Amino acid sequence: MTRFSKSKTGEAPLHLAAQNGHVRVVNVLVQDHGASLEAITLDNQTALHFSAKYGQLVVSQTLLALGANPNARDDKGQTPLHLAAENDYPDVVKLFLKMKQNNRGVLTAIDHNGFTCAHIAAMKGSLAVVKELMMIDKAMVIQAKTKTLEATTLHMAAAGGHTNIVKILLENGANAEDENAHGMTALHLGAKNGFVSILEAFDKTLWRRCSRKTGLNALHIAAYYGNSDFVNEMLKSVPASVRSEPPIYNHHVVKEFATEYGFTPLHLAAQSGHDSLVRMLLNQGVQVDATSTTMVELSLLLLIDFVLT
């Protein structure tokens, strides 16, 4: 057996051959010189992680045939399948899923963040990968939730502005009213990040729906985060005077109003100091002296006056 040196990041020659798709070199290193399939880098990635991460299908096939472990995890808890999904390599994903004795295991494996490969693919906008995963287990892809935030693939896709994936998930039964641990629906996350195209994927009856946990709807959230284009599009179907509803718990979406309600988008835009958005909402005819259910509105009215002067 040949003793192979590693780079400063722990990469052995086998890692580099796998990364660059050199199948014959992989065979020579493993079969003729005993290179270890389990050799890892400083972040605990094997050669199979590398071939999956860089979309090297034939090398991945070769490594698996030679006995590489498809369930090996790096220091983030990610398997080679996670990396193939993250980097949008559907053919490599399909390879792992074809391993009949193992496909369920790799599909449901979660990393240290509680993300399955479906969550990662949705977050990164890998439509082809999401479709491949749904062919194996549609229910798992749609229903699986992350460990801490309780986010579904629909949440992840909307938060990243991936409208095509949002549409596919909704067409296949994803629940648009599902809320994550912070009381955010998929539409709310799209509003937070200002992805206007997300709106076309959701029925307009959901546009003004308030979260059960926070009492806020997508227009409130877009206003709070200063996403003027999103607000402007929503105002075509939702009145600018729409008020927040009583929250059922002390939420963290808009910390200043965690237990309050009755706020309009104008209150929220003013609270965050978005002067141009405040002007736009006032031009929609929102009353500058509209009051909420608390004394907080007094400070907000003073802030509006400051912003407009």
CATH number at residue 280: 1.25.40.20
Among 47, 69, 91, identify where a domain stops.
Answer: 69
CA-wise closest residue to 69 among 86, 44, 40, 46: 46
Q: 114, 141, 175 — which closes off a domain?
A: 175
Name the domain count of the chain: 3
Residue 190 lies inside a defined structural domain of this protein? no
Report residue 192 as tokens: 């937070």
Q: What is the pLDDT of residues 22-59, one digit of tens each?
A: 999 999 999 999 999 999 999 999 999 999 999 999 99
Residue 52 and residue 144 in one domain: no
pTM of the full structure: 0.86
13-19 contacts, C-beta under 8 A, 24 or more apart: 14/39, 14/47, 15/39, 15/41, 15/45, 15/46, 15/47, 15/50, 16/50, 17/47, 17/59, 18/47, 18/48, 18/50, 18/51, 18/54, 18/56, 18/59, 18/63, 19/50, 19/51, 19/53, 19/54, 19/56
> Does 298 have pLDDT greater than 50?
no
Same domain, residue pair 88 and 59: no
Tens digits of residue pLDDT in 128-187: 999 999 998 999 999 999 988 999 999 999 999 999 999 999 999 999 999 999 999 999
Which range marks the domain in which residue 24 is found?
A: 1-69
